[in-house]
Amino acid sequence: MSKKVAIITGITGQDGAYLAELLLKKDYIVYGTYRRTSSVNFWRIEELGIKDDSNLHLVEYDLTDLSASIRLMQKTKATEVYNLAAQSFVGVSFEQPVTTAEITGIGPVNLLEAIRIVNPKIRFYQASTSEMFGLVQAVPQKEDTPFYPRSPYGVAKLYAHWMTVNYRESYGIFASSGILFNHESPLRGQEFVTRKITDTVAKIKLGKTDVLELGNMDAKRDWGFAKEYVEGMWRMLQADEPDTFVLATNRTETVRDFVSMAFKAAGYTLRFEGKDEQEVGIDVATGKTLVRVNPKFFRPAEVDLLIGNPARAKEILGWEPKTTLEQLCQMMVEEDLRRNQQGFSF
């Protein structure tokens, strides 16, 4: 039997790298797309040891280009497309709302149109997000919870989500949308809060920096392990029917809790004092301030509370998360200690 062929857009990102690793293990031929930049950015697939795998083909591609999307389908003859590419940073979306709309909102429509034109039998996965829930309407959030996005990123993703549903219903395309809650790993980008925390904790431990500066520490998130979430994406495209699924852990913690957990993993006990912009985290053993608030990291609008119910994914896909937040945090701190000790950190 010939091998299955999949396209992963955004292979240079966290999820793209883990998904490529998973599909290669499953004996797929993988076309992973990356953007042209002045310097290449393959550290994640290098860390996973898959960059030179003979079944992995790296293809230059930009999600905002319809003709490139059509050629991508024609050339690769893929039967599964995982759209992970996006301007994915919520904070930046407030400063670059138009670019975010073009990439994160319209971009997926280029892929859907290419599928419709080239081969409507291609199965499509859209990386949707818990940011679409935004302002709390009900908890825990699930597939039928009303949406109320609170950032240009969330709004763009909601448009792409509904277009995915629309192409499913209008043209019978196998288009599934995964509403994924935050998922993290040692491969997470450093601008996201968990990795920023674990990398800075490692730097403090090694005497490379003194203090961790953060924005809103009251925000609550449902954090899972990225490697398990990409397995859920794959399962969505192997299901009998296209659908929408929430992937989450059904546990929520504040950013402050994650900070405490990360410092604990490096041997510190913190005590928090003060309120709002004056809040600080103090090392109980030495009395030193290790954490402080910097208002420059506040967002114009915030998503206060995310907690997802993944029951539907468990029932239909047999998917459930396994790694606890404590294990995830420990893994990230250890990896950042190792990297910083070796003199590099991405």
Cβ proximity of 35 and 60 under 8 Å: yes
Considering only residues 242-301, where is the footprint of ligand NDP by CB under 6 A? none
Residue 61 annotated in active site: no
Which residues lie closer than 8 Å to 39 by C-beta, 6 or more apart?
none
Of the listed pieces 42-50, 86-94, 244-252, 265-273, which binds ligand GDR according to CB under 6 A? 86-94
**Catalytic site residue 131?**
yes
Closest CA to 236 of 160, 128, 308, 74: 128
Interface map 93-132 toward ligand NDP (x if CB under 6 A): ----------x-----------------------x-x---
List the x/- string, 101-130, binding to ligand GDR by CB under 6 A. Answer: ----------------------------xx
Q: Cα(278)–Cα(280) distance, rounded to whole angstroms?
A: 6
- C-beta closer to ligand GDR: residue 173 or 246: 246
DSSP for 109-127 reads HHHHHHHHHH-TTSEEEEE
DSSP 8-class letter at 2: P
Name which of residues 46 to 85 contact ligand GDR (CB under 6 A): none
88 binds ligand GDR (CB under 6 A): yes
Q: Supply 244's token pair.
A: 């929408």
Q: Which of 55, 64, 96, 209 binds ligand NDP (CB under 6 A)?
A: 64
Among the candidate windows 171-179, 210-218, 312-320, 336-344, which touches ligand GDR by CB under 6 A? 210-218
**From the list ligand GDR, ligand NDP, none, partner contacted by residue 203 (C-beta under 5 to 8 A by kind):** none
Distance from the Cα of residue 339 to its chain's centroid: 21
Q: Measure the CA–CA gap between 272 and 292, rounded to whole angstroms.
A: 10
Catalytic annotation on 268? no
In 3-state terms, what secondary structure has residue 152? helix
Residue recorded with tokens 């991508």: 72
Cα–Cα distance measured from residue 73 to residue 62, given in angstroms and rounded to the nearest whole number: 13
Active-site residue, selected from the candidate residues 9, 104, 129, 323:
129
Active-site residue, from 18, 31, 82, 131:
131
Distance CA 94, CA 145 (A): 24
DSSP 31: E
Site for ligand GDR, rule CB under 6 A: 88, 90-91, 129-131, 181-182, 191-193, 196, 214-216, 219, 221, 255, 297, 299, 302
Q: Which residues are catalytic?
A: 129, 131, 153
Site for ligand NDP, rule CB under 6 A: 9-10, 12-16, 35, 37, 41, 61-64, 84-88, 103, 127, 129, 180, 182-183, 189
